[in-house]
Amino acid sequence: MARFSFALLRKLPAREKRITLPTLFTFVRIILTPCIVVSMVYEHWGAAFWLFVIAAATDAVDGALARLRNERTFLGACLDPIADKLLILSVFFTLAFVQSPLFSIPHWFVLFVLCKELLLVGGAVAIFAWQGHLEIRPTWLGKTTTLVQILFIVWLFACYFFAWVPIKTYYTMLAVVFVLVAASLMHYASIGFRTVLGIGARRS
């Protein structure tokens, strides 16, 4: 399966694999992720906050540039969600294991988010390997889920930096994020099943 997928990637036109300006902004987000994690480990919450804000801003910038400059590529479409998942998961993992008297992200929550992302990535790879191409188009629910997770993390950084402990707000936001992640998983799973059934119908 892996060799077949790489063979398909090699068959992509060069224009779909080129490094564009929007893709460079995506790389910036990937590079900033370990810097944010290190800042969190050493409890430099101000630096972690601003680095995360910059990283989140690149998510909006690369998408806007890709549309304005008409530079949407398969490479960029793949790297953009990977960069988002890497950033959010890295922060959640660090918040789950960092020693702090304030909030601690539950381990079960991090495991749930990780499993959701692995299922989505695995499903996308399987569909790509099966049909030879893949249309990567985030839905409004997926975009909303990512945005709410980003806002949740920004709020957590602010709580750590200013030593706020609004317990009720924390559990409310955690519940909202959990519901959105679960809903987006079911939403993308339904899209995947419809795609697979459509491929099967065309081949039969």
Cβ(48)–Cβ(40) below 8 Å? yes
| Cα–Cα distance, 32 to 52 (Å, whole number) | 8
- In sequence order, the 6+-apart residues with CB closer than 8 A to the CB of 20 are 66, 69, 71, 73, 76
| Cα–Cα distance, 18 to 180 (Å, whole number) | 34
| Cα–Cα distance, 26 to 41 (Å, whole number) | 24
| Cα–Cα distance, 33 to 39 (Å, whole number) | 10
Which pLDDT does position 191 carry in this prediction? 81
Residue among 58, 56, 57, 38 nearest 48 (CA): 38
Question: What's at 140, amino acid-wise?
Answer: W
Residue 3 pLDDT level (bands cut at 50, 70, 90): very low
All domains in the chain, ordered by first residue: 2-203 (1.20.120)
86-105 confidence digits (pLDDT tens): 999 999 999 888 766 566 78
How many degrees, rounded to 5, is the angle at CA 118 between CA 115 and CA 122? 140
146-198 confidence digits (pLDDT tens): 999 999 999 988 888 887 878 888 899 999 999 999 999 898 888 877 776 66
